[in-house]
């Protein structure tokens, strides 16, 4: 099955710096890669996603890049703010045409701390 590795497990930055979180996946049939943000005591919420036919997607201060050949994708947060502090999860979803279609596999999570 799919295996998603996420690094680093913790990341500490100063306000205004950039933060980068990287994930690798194993299943070449995966074609959808969402990123979730989970604040303390709350549910994970989607912040950005990318599909396999796109190499990069940006939404204000957040961007995601995908390298299908290398099977890795990254989350980039620019001009970080204290409210960006949270746990971030990457995930990969298998595409149609095989078993486990639609199954979402998550990385282990990254605790991001933004210091004022």
Binding site for other proteins (CB under 8 A): 1, 6, 9, 32, 34, 42-46, 49, 51, 89, 93, 95-96, 100-109
Q: Of the two residues 51 and 61, which places its CB atom closer to other proteins in the complex?
A: 51
CB of 116 to other proteins, least distance (A): 26
Bond preceding residue 8 cis, omega within 30 of 0 = yes
Residue with tokens 């799919």: 2
Q: Compare residues 56 and 101 and give the one whose CB is closer to other proteins.
A: 101
In the complex, minimum distance from the CB of residue 115 to other proteins, in angstroms, rounded to a whole number: 22
**Which C-beta is closer to other proteins: that of 51 or that of 115?**
51
20 torsion bin: left (phi>0), alpha (psi -120 to 50), beta (else): beta
The owner of tokens 């969402």 is 34
CB of 59 to other proteins, least distance (A): 14
106 burial class (0-12, 13-18, 19+ CB within 10 angstroms)? middle
Toward other proteins, which CB reaches closer, 84 or 109? Answer: 109
Q: What share of the chain is helix, strand, coil (3-state, %, to 5)?
A: 5, 55, 40
């Amino acid at each position: 099955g799919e295996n998603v590795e996420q690094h680093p497990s913790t990341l500490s930055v100063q306000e205004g710096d950039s933060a980068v979180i990287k994930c690798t996946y194993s299943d070449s049939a995966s074609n959808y890669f969402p990123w979730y943000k989970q604040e303390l005591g709350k549910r994970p919420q989607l912040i950005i996603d990318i599909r396999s036919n796109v190499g990069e997607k940006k939404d204000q201060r957040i961007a995601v890049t995908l390298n299908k050949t290398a099977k890795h994708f990254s989350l980039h947060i620019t001009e970080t703010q204290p409210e960006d502090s949270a746990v971030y999860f990457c995930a990969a979803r298998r595409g149609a045409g095989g078993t486990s279609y639609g199954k979402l596999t998550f990385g282990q999570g990254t605790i991001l701390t933004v210091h004022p």
